[in-house]
Every structure is written in structure tokens, then in C-alpha cells.
Chains A and B, each alone.
Chain A
Amino acid sequence: MSVREWTYAIVVVSFALYIGIAIWAKAKTTKDFYVAGADVSPLANGMATAADWMSAASFLGMAGIIAFAGYDGSVYLMGWTGGYVLLALLLAPYLRKFGKFTVPDFIGDRYYSQSARIVAVFCAIFVSFTYVAGQMRGVGIVFSRFLEVPVTTGVLIGMAIVFFYAVLGGMKGITYTQVAQYCVLIFAYLVPAIFISIMITGNPIPQLGFGGQVAGGEWLLDKLDGLHQELGFAAYTEGSKAMLDVFCITAALMVGTAGLPHVIIRFYTVPKVRDARISVGWALLFISILYTTAPAVAVFARTNLIQEVEGRAYSAEAGTAEPVPAWFKTWEGTDLIAWRDKNNDGLVQYRAGAPFAGKPSFVEATGDHGERLVANEKTDNENELYVDRDIMVLANPEIAQLPAWVIGLVAAGALAAALSTAAGLLLVVSSAISHDLLKRALRPDITEKGELRAARISAAVAVTVAGVLGIYPPDYVAAVVAFAFGLAASSFFPAIIMGIFSRRMNRQGAITGMVCGIIFTASYIIYFKFMDSGPGSQDRWWWGISPEGIGAVGMVLNFAVALTISKLTPPPPQAVQDMVDSIRVPSASRTEA
């Protein structure tokens, strides 16, 4: 069977599985729809959370980002896993005890305020849509690359699948399909990683392999550091970002992770407080399997890339140098690799720095050696090669010459990662509209049946909007990911933490804190991402902190403002203080009464 046939076969089988699960797990009540009836086993919830969390970006992008950033890429590894410690210790058990369905539920009840609820609803919707646009786009791109259909068709197929199980099954359908999707995606990630680890280091465990030796007895990491220095890059294991910035980005990502509504909402789905605790443990264990493999894949891919490309001839007849491998031209054909022969020697010269300004815009002409020409203005450094970071995971099976079924598996894994995350996010949007806005704010007298119908309709609308965003992606999608984390870090996280750990925190403090945190973080990100983002803007960053890391400062500001204001204003009503007491203790009677 060819690569395409294998890919079709594996993708169709996995989709049939997801649909089968959706039919089996149809939601009958709003409790099924919002929190899967709150009777998901902790292990299953852990797996579903892992699939929910690991998006197309984790699956396809992360190893690539780390491969190009080296040590600096650690911010994502620590940031996107360390947040789960905060979730387990500071949030999940207490929110589970609180019960109810959503994050705005907690904010609204704890701060006895409809306006706090509404602010939380809009933050939740904004954060989720920011994220989901990228997922739907990811589905489209995977389809177009592996199955050779247009991106738009791919997005439409993805929409149809998500529509089916999210609208029909709600959280229940989503949870059980996510369990299946986790299995598909982790298998698809590990198989090529293990093959390549054996190939390069002889060790089948990638996590150990990248600390191992290559043929000749040299340590792989030393070899890569050496290659980097020869070509003018910073040493792979040392990185080049300022320490304070690395610190702040890691903190913002950790805290943001713990404050993201689609993650928090998952811990409402288990039966008990103790299940919520262990379920975060399972989630992080399942996530860490991929997250500890990714830096190994990054090192393998980076070493392979440099060795197989640098100094090679683009076409076979150009002198004595060995020609570039076949995958080089395949990916050039999909716009992800570009080569501009600056010194006209026919050899690929890979050095630090951008070969030309911006992303390649190819013209309908080829150069002396048959390479695709670009219209971009060339830079005056020696680097001739543009490589898109995304190809690291995608091209791995080809680079390692793995069998065709592995490539099909990687496609199915990427789709599983994108679909599971998209579904989780869409549920947050639909519950924010039907539950928080409609039931809790606008029409409290709505019937159970009416609310379930409203939930289904808003899920359907959310899928459609997400699909449109996937087909016509706004330019700023990549830039606003910083927004999602910054906003979650500077708004939800402090408000929820203080709601649990400070009995004294009141409405005035929490709302002022959230508003200050959001305004500060949002203005900083908007200013440095859109208004002053050109070269040299880094020198004007406050304390050298990048927009990705500013959420950490916003969070501190939120805490400081909230604590000060609450000291100057009256304490919350007794009923609210009693509620705080009750969520702190697993067994107390309030919610059972």
C-alpha cells in the first residue's frame, strides 16, 4: 500500500471509532452535557484531559520549536507541565467540591456578583476562540498535506466530525472520544521517536537516547553543540534568552495553564474530591509521556537536519558534493523549505540568521539548479536556508525512512490532537453561553430540556464559528496565543486562588484585581505585538520581559490590587464565607444538603 492509501485507511478507521463512541455516549441531561454526568473515572478523565490539553501545536509544533530554540524551548516544556502541579494542589479538589459546571459559575457565586460572572464568561469565550481557530486550521492543514485535499475541505470534514460528537454527546461524548484520541496520538508520536532514537543512538527509549552516544563515541548533545557553534548558532544546550524573561514566560505559561477554562472544567467531571486530585496526576503522567519525548525528538531532528543538509549540493550534477536527500525537495514543494543560493556555488549553506526577510513567497520560476525562487529581499548574512519549524515532526518518518504506515499514523495522530482540543474548547464556549449567560443570568426559569437544547444549539454555532475562523484565519492567530495564556494568568488564576485561600477576599477586591490584571496584560501585549513589534522593540520591553511573559507580572498586579482593595472594603457576606469553609473540606455537608 502507498503512503496515501495507508493514511486514508488509518484516518477513516480512527474517525469511525470516534463516531461510534459518540453514538454510544449520547448526553441525556444538562449534567451529562456539561460535566459528563460527573461520573467519569479518574483514569479516563486523566487521559481525556491529556488529549484535551495536547493540541495540534503540541503534537506538530513543539518538537520543532525546541529544535530551533534549544535550551530556550524549555519554557514550553516546564510551563505547560508545571501548571498541572498548581491545578492539583491549588484548584482542582476545591473546585470539584464547589460542584456546579463552569469557571464563571465559581467566579459569579464566590464573588456574589452578576458582573463578575459576565466578565468571566467573556474571558472564557475569548480565550477559547483564540485557541480553537488554530485547531481547526491545523485539521485543515493536516488533511491538505497528507490527503491532498484543499485546506477548506479539510476544515469542513473536521467540523462535521466535531459537530457530530460535541453537539450530540456534549462533555460525555467528548470525554470518551478524547480517551480514544489520546491513545491514537501518543502511539503516533512514540513510534517514529523510538525508531529514530534506535537509529541515531542505539537506545530505544528516546528520553535516554538523547543523552546517549552517537557512532564514534561522542555524546549526541556535545556533537550538536559543536555543530551549532561551527555554524554560528548559540550552543544548543545553553540558549540565548535573558534569564528574567525565561523565568517570566515559564511562570506565565504555568499559571495560564492552571487558569484555562477548558482544562479546569475537566475536573468537574469526576465523582469526588479525591478523584479530582488523582485525576490531575494521571493527566500529567499522560502528558509527560509526550512532553519528555519532544525534547529528544527535537535533538534528533536538529542533528539530522544539519548533517543531511549543510554543505550538500542542491542538484546531483553540481560538482562533487553529495546531493540533498529527497525529502528536502518534497518539503520545498509544500513551501516549508526554501533555499536561496546567495554565493552561487550550488551548495546549501546553513548558518544562523534569517536567509531573507519574512516567510518565503515563491515565484513561478526556478533558479540555475532547479530550486524554487522566492521574491523576498535577501538578508546580508551567509545563511541560505529557510526551514519551517513544523516539518520537524512531519518529516521525521521520511528522514528516518520509516514504513508508509508510520506516516499515515502521524497524520491520524495530528488529527486526533487537533480534534480533541477543538472539542474541549467548543464545549467551554457552549456552556458559557447556555449555562452561564442564559440560565444563570438572562433566563433563570429556563427548563432543563430547554437548557439542553440551548446547549446543543450554542455548541453547533460555536463549531460553525470555529470552522469559519479555520477557513479564513485572522493574521494575528499566532500572536494571540500569548493572549490566551496572559489573560488566563492575569484574570482567572488569581481570582480563583483568592476565592479559595482567602475567606476575606470580597467582590470589590476580586473585580478590581481582575480588571487591572487584564487591562495591564492586554495593553502590554497589544502594544508590543501590534503597535511596536518591529526590530529593536525588544530594547523597549519593560525589564526585558517579552509579551509572552508579561502575564506573570499581570498576575502579581492582580493579587496586589485585590488584596489591597479588599482590606479597605467590607468583608463578603457570611453565606459566602461559609461556602469558602465548605469547599476547603472534602466531606463537609453543604453541597450534599
Chain B
Amino acid sequence: MSHEPQAHTDYWRANLRILAGLLALWFTVSFGFGILLVEPLNSIRIPGTGFKLGFWFAQQGSIYAFVLIIFYYVRRMNRLDREHGVQED
């Protein structure tokens, strides 16, 4: 059992890296595209629709991205748990 603390530290570091990447994405699609960059993005139209891109991110796109981020996270973490042998049962 003496190797456990080191294994857990590695697991935790890998976990933090995944979190940092996904939170950066979370921030970009909502605060970035939906708020801070909304005006420049609004000069672009999504082809074939009446949506201005910034407005679409604020009212639709960010929400779809949130769902995808969580489902990706779940898959990635289940894999990480197995890689580090810390999965439940």
C-alpha cells in the first residue's frame, strides 16, 4: 500500500489538468463568445439561418457546449479512474 499516496497524487494532477482544459472551454463559449466577444461575432451570420453568431452563442450554443463538456468529462474521468486503478469496485 506504500505506493498509494504517489499514485493518488498523479491521479489528482491528471484530474486537475482535465479540469483546467474543460473549464477554459466552458469560459470561452459562455463568457468569451456570448459576452466579451459578442459584438465582433455578431457581424458573422451562421450560414443558412438568421442567427448572428454572438447572439446564438449566448442563447443556444453555450448551452449545447455545456452539455457536451459534461458528457466528455464523464467519459474522460471514467477512463482516468481505470488508468490509475482508482475506479469503484
**B77 to chain A: which residues have CB within 8 Å?**
93, 274, 277
Contact A284 B70 (CB under 8 A): yes
From A219, A280, A587, B50 is in contact (CB under 8 Å) with: A219
A272 within 8 A of B: yes
Query: In the complex the two chains form, is B35's CB within 8 Å of A77's CB?
Result: no
Indicate whether B44 reaches chain A with its CB closer than 8 angstroms.
no
A222 within 8 A of B: yes
Majority-rule SS of B interface residues: helix
Chain B residues within an 8 Å CB radius of A586: 81, 86-88
Q: Are B88 and A74 in contact (CB under 8 A)?
A: no
Q: Which residues from A are CB-within-8-Å of B36?
A: 243, 247
Which of B23, B67, B73 contacts A285, CB < 8 Å?
B67
Task: Say yes or no for A515: interface residue by CB 8 A criterion.
Answer: no
Interface string of B46-58 (1 = CB under 8 A from A): 1001111001101
Q: Classify chain A's interface size.
A: 35 or more
Given A247-B31, A586-B87, verify A82-B50 contact (CB < 8 Å).
no
Please tell me which one of the listed residues B8, B11, B50, B63 contacts residue A221 in the complex, with CB atoms under 8 A apart: B50
Which B residues are CB-close (under 8 A) to A246?
35
Give the number of residues in B that approach A within 8 Å (Cβ atoms): 43
Instruction: Please determine whether A211 and B67 come into contact, CB atoms closer than 8 angstroms.
Output: no
Alpha-carbon gap, A85 to B30, bound state (A): 11
Which residues of B (5-30) have their CB < 8 Å from a CB of A?
A: 8, 11-12, 15, 19, 22-23, 26, 30
Q: In the docked arrangement, what's the CA distance between A88 and B73, Å?
A: 8
A26 to chain B, nearest CB (A): 29
Complex CA distance for A251 and B23, rounded to whole angstroms:
13
Interface residues in A218-267 (C-beta closer than 8 Å to B): 219-222, 237-238, 243, 246-247, 250-251, 254
| Residues of A76-132 whose CB lies within 8 A of B | 77-78, 81-82, 84-85, 88-90, 93
Which residue of A is nearest B62, CB measured? A78
Binds B, one of A287-295, A325-333, A348-356: A287-295
Q: Which residues of B contact A238 (CB under 8 A)?
A: 42, 55
Give the Cβ gap from A2 to chain B, nearest Cβ, in Å: 37
From A78, A88, A212, give the contact of B63 (CB < 8 A).
A78
Contact of B30 among A82, A284, A585, A587 (CB under 8 A): A82
Tell me how far the C-beta of A242 lies from the nearest C-beta in chain B, rounded to whole angstroms: 11
Q: Are A89 and B23 interface neighbours, CB within 8 A?
A: yes
B79 to A: closest C-beta gap in Å: 11
Within 8 Å by CB of B78, from A74, A237, A274, lies A274
Interface centre among B11, B31, B78 (most CB of A within 10 A): B31
Q: Judge whether B70 and A85 touch: CB under 8 Å.
A: yes
Are B52 and A81 in contact, CB atoms less than 8 angstroms apart?
Answer: no
| C-alpha gap A324/B38 in the complex (Å) | 37
B89 CB to closest chain A CB, in angstroms?
8
Q: How far is the CA of A577 from the CA of B2 in the complex (A)?
A: 18
Max chain B C-beta neighbours (<10 A), residue from A71, A254, A295: A71
Decide if A85 touches B26 in the complex (CB within 8 Å). Answer: yes
Which residues on the A side are within 8 Å of B15 (C-beta)?
Answer: 584
Contact yes or no, A89 B8, CB < 8 A: no
Given A90-B19, A237-B52, A587-B81 in contact, is the A284-B67 Cβ separation under 8 Å? Answer: yes
Assess whether A421 is interfacial by the CB under 8 Å rule. Answer: no
Most central of A88, A212, A247, A285 by chain B CB within 10 Å: A88
Name the interface residues of A514-529: CB closer than 8 Å to any CB of B.
none
Complex: A227 Cα to B26 Cα, angstroms: 34
Give Cα A273 to B15, complex, Å: 14
CB neighbours of B38 from chain A (8 A): 71
Q: Across the interface, do A288 and B67 meet the contact criterion of CB distance under 8 Å?
A: yes
Please tell me if A207 contacts chain B, counting CB pairs below 8 Å. Answer: yes
Residue of B26, B34, B81 most packed against chain A (CB within 10 A): B34
**A interface vs B, CB < 8 Å?**
66, 71, 73-74, 77-78, 81-82, 84-85, 88-90, 93, 207-208, 210-213, 219-222, 237-238, 243, 246-247, 250-251, 254, 272-274, 277-278, 280-281, 284-285, 288, 291-292, 295, 581, 584-588
Interface residues of B (CB under 8 A from A): 8, 11-12, 15, 19, 22-23, 26, 30-31, 34-36, 38, 42, 46, 49-52, 55-56, 58-60, 62-64, 66-67, 69-71, 73-74, 77-78, 81, 85-89
| Interface contacts beyond A281-B71, A281-B73, A587-B88: sample of 17 additional A-B pairs, CB < 8 Å, sorted by A | A71-B38, A82-B26, A84-B66, A84-B70, A85-B70, A89-B19, A90-B19, A207-B60, A237-B55, A238-B42, A274-B77, A274-B88, A281-B67, A284-B67, A292-B60, A295-B59, A585-B12
